[in-house]
Structure 1
């Protein structure tokens, strides 16, 4: 596994954006919220942050929400890059923004829009190169923006189907973290079945189910959990029975010896050797 110098921060969606009127909540957002961690990893409030709302059906409103959130955190250099076509990904202004950014933040929405409009373009090449080779460079993404980080990307599928072949649609993502398959809004939307099928299709990969307002800081082949919810890890490397390849679409599946872990704030996972470091019970909340 190549030693990667940059940082990824996938987020499970619906992260706190500091818009609560109550001062207590605003202070918690500034001191502990996920976007605070994004800013910190990018170098602080003077970092050049580029928000890409491509996945959203309302990109202007979403971009404004992030401008407000990062401004609340004290950030001075935040730009919204509204990419709506592959041609936009090849524009000189787009390329320069990505070349100079300390952090690129992908919004939620439809992850297929990100890959359709960015995958294979010049800015995609720059993102991958900078992530691999530049220490301190951050790529963050919430919901769709998190799912698009994978190589084998969940593009959609039914969460109501318990464990049915064909309940998940897979597509090629941006390939930033090929060892993982990422799903988001995981607890609230009951997505156990579809990530289980994704892992059944790609048992050598680790499935990650991110709850809302929960994320990972991925660097140096490790990740640490941040935020208020849980992360469920699906390790299918030692599956003993997997009938995905022989079943017809719409047929209930069976899968045995799928290992799962439930982690929360401060816990760590080694992507290379698949080992877990759980925060001691007596440790303070991070």
Structure 2
């Protein structure tokens, strides 16, 4: 999928985004004006946008759906629907397909990203989402936690953070391929997933890794131009200048070596160009301390 042809917007989120009723001190942005879901609403066209919630990844989809209905209601949204997709057959239902056709925004919840791949991947809904993301200006696909991880082609499906960065510790699976040039991990700071995403990059060195902290996301335009939103940070793993990567020659369970893997730490307002491997830190005139 050429980035020059992509007209839609992706918003991957690191999980645990502010929904307007948490008291956790990490959620320190003004919810209505600056919160991640407020950005989702604005990108989708405003309070009257048709927003579809898909809680397929969750083990408690009804509760998760209700939480998002309440969160978007707090933002004044008047047209929010939950599609409770739990089987491959659900992804072929005419009523559900019609909702996707009419949507301004589709948002995938957190949970187990493999459920998204299993129940939605290669379905009519998946093909429709790919087509609308490519061709419809203003169409938004958002996803938090598992919903963000499923956006890539090479999707992290599991793996222990404690044991990662030995060959074979990270499980990979095909995702929904909205943005094949990335591999995404979430809850990144809070769950110590540095090694996990690094092994994924070792396996697929032609992609860039994004590790999202909680309550942090990116608005991605044209399949390439990224702007950080939320209260935390995004760690970018850029393998463009790798000079050593021994992943292919090692036995399973062996520690790996990578040299000249470049990391960028980005926060609210910072920008990243995936193709150019370029960081634009805003405001550039801010003092260096």
Structure 1 residues 234 and 265, CA gap change in structure 2 (3 angstroms)? same
For residue 8 of structure 1, the aligned residue among 7, 10, 32 is 10
- The offset of 1:148, in angstroms, is 0.2
Aligned partners of 1:87, 1:161: CA distance in 2, in Å? 37
- The offset of 1:26, in angstroms, is 9.8
**Contact 1:67–1:78 (CA under 8 A) maintained in structure 2:** yes
CA shift digits 1:196-240 (9 cap, x unpaired):
000001111000000000000000220100000010000112211
**Contact 1:19–1:26 (CA under 8 A) maintained in structure 2:** no
- The offset of 1:33, in angstroms, is 0.3
Structure 1 residues 85 and 231, CA gap change in structure 2 (3 angstroms)? same
Look up the match of 2:230: 227
Aligned-partner SS, 2:148 = helix
**Contact 2:185–2:210 (CA under 8 A) maintained in structure 1:** yes
Look up the match of 2:119: 117
Structure 1 residues 244 and 32, CA gap change in structure 2 (3 angstroms)? same
Q: What is the TM-score normalised by the length of structure 2?
A: 0.94
**Contact 2:113–2:150 (CA under 8 A) maintained in structure 1:** yes
Q: CA RMSD in A?
A: 1.5
Aligned-partner SS, 1:126 = helix
Aligned partners of 1:135, 1:270: CA distance in 2, in Å? 20
Look up the match of 1:94: 96
Alignment of 1:190-269 (within 5 A): 190-220=192-222, 221-269=224-272
- The offset of 1:43, in angstroms, is 0.1
**Contact 2:164–2:199 (CA under 8 A) maintained in structure 1:** no
Aligned-partner SS, 1:262 = strand
CA shift digits 1:131-184 (9 cap, x unpaired):
000010000000000000000000010101252111210000000000100000
Look up the match of 2:280: 277
Aligned-partner SS, 1:86 = coil
Aligned-partner SS, 2:30 = helix
Q: In terms of mean alpha carbon deviation, does 166-175 or 12-21 score higher?
A: 12-21
Look up the match of 1:133: 135
**Contact 1:200–1:255 (CA under 8 A) maintained in structure 2:** yes
Aligned partners of 1:45, 1:27: CA distance in 2, in Å? 20
Alignment of 1:8-87 (within 5 A): 8-20=10-22, 28-87=30-89
Look up the match of 1:149: 151
For structure 2, list consecutive stretches of 5 or more residues without a partner in the other structure.
none
Look up the match of 2:178: 176
Aligned partners of 1:21, 1:255: CA distance in 2, in Å? 40
Q: What is the TM-score normalised by the length of structure 1?
A: 0.95
Look up the match of 1:189: 191
